[in-house]
Copies of this chain bind each other. A is one copy, B any other.
Amino acid sequence: MTARKPSLTFIGGTGDLGSGLAWRFAMAGYPVIIGSRAADKAEAAAAEMSKGGILSVQGMSNADAAQAGDIVFMTVPFANHEGTLASIREGVQEKIFVDSTVPLMPPKVTRVQLPASGCVAKQTQDFLGENVRVVSAFQNVAAAHLQNEEAHLGDCDVLVTGNDVEARDTVVRLASEIGFKAWHAGPIENSAVAEALTSVLIFLNKRYGIAGAGIHVTGTPTKDI
């Protein structure tokens, strides 16, 4: 007997990163819910992604999508971060909430500009409250790689941070199911690395002509975890 797979909601799931993740998880057999500010836009994206119902994908408004999913991911531009959080705050109570927001401030996207509080994910945890288990992950993933079925996702390790170890572990396992090497990277404050790294990766892409730079953690683990 296999346990039912949890349903996964992607707030901002019509964007490049959100739709890429949603598609990968739908392909891995998870029931997926796409959220968008406009429900009709989410429904249209879901209908296209489901390929005529072969994959389990629904579309809803962000608020409804947050209520409906067992685990909720958020992938929205930094400018929409606060407003979107307010709209889904109620729906994510008691859940694992995965924030992938990167504090990019156009036009200087190659310059690190972390919030004065340290990092966005910490702000998210403070805003949503202690009953939400906030996990930070997927900031450094090239959306183009996610959307390309041929791309090898092992080329960019995922740093997973958060204060709840069990919730972090769930996200580490989810990431590995779609092909990422994911690492427990410490408490929510450590999200600063992944959030800042995106600007450096964009800089590297431009300076060296790399199509989607990422990182690997080097060194040999000696502990079973």
Q: Which of A76-123 contact B (CB under 8 A)?
A: 110-114, 116, 118-119
B159 touches A186 (CB 8 A): no
How big is the A interface, by class? Answer: 35 or more
B203 touches A199 (CB 8 A): no
CB of A187 to closest CB in B, whole Å: 6
Residue from B200, B216, B222 within 8 A of A218 (CB atoms): B216
Known contacts A211-B219, A219-B212; A192 and B112 CB within 8 A of each other: yes
A217 touches B215 (CB 8 A): yes
Q: Which of A4-62 contact B (CB under 8 A)?
A: none
A112 touches B193 (CB 8 A): yes
A124 an interface residue at 8 Å Cβ cutoff? Answer: no
| Residue of B with least CB distance to A197 | B193
Counted per complex, copies of this chain come to 2
CB of A148 to closest CB in B, whole Å: 14
Q: Which of A130-189 contact B (CB under 8 A)?
A: 155-156, 159, 183-187, 189
| Residue of B with least CB distance to A159 | B200
B193 touches A222 (CB 8 A): no
A204 touches B183 (CB 8 A): yes
Tell me, in angstroms, the Cα distance from A113 to B223 when the chains sit together.
26
Contacts of A223 in B (CB 8 A): 207-209
A190 touches B196 (CB 8 A): yes
Residue from B185, B210, B212 within 8 A of A203 (CB atoms): B185
A3 an interface residue at 8 Å Cβ cutoff? Answer: no
Known interface pairs A212-B219, A216-B216; 8 further A-B residue pairs with C-beta atoms within 8 A, sorted by A's residue number: A111-B187, A159-B200, A184-B204, A186-B200, A204-B219, A208-B222, A210-B222, A213-B219
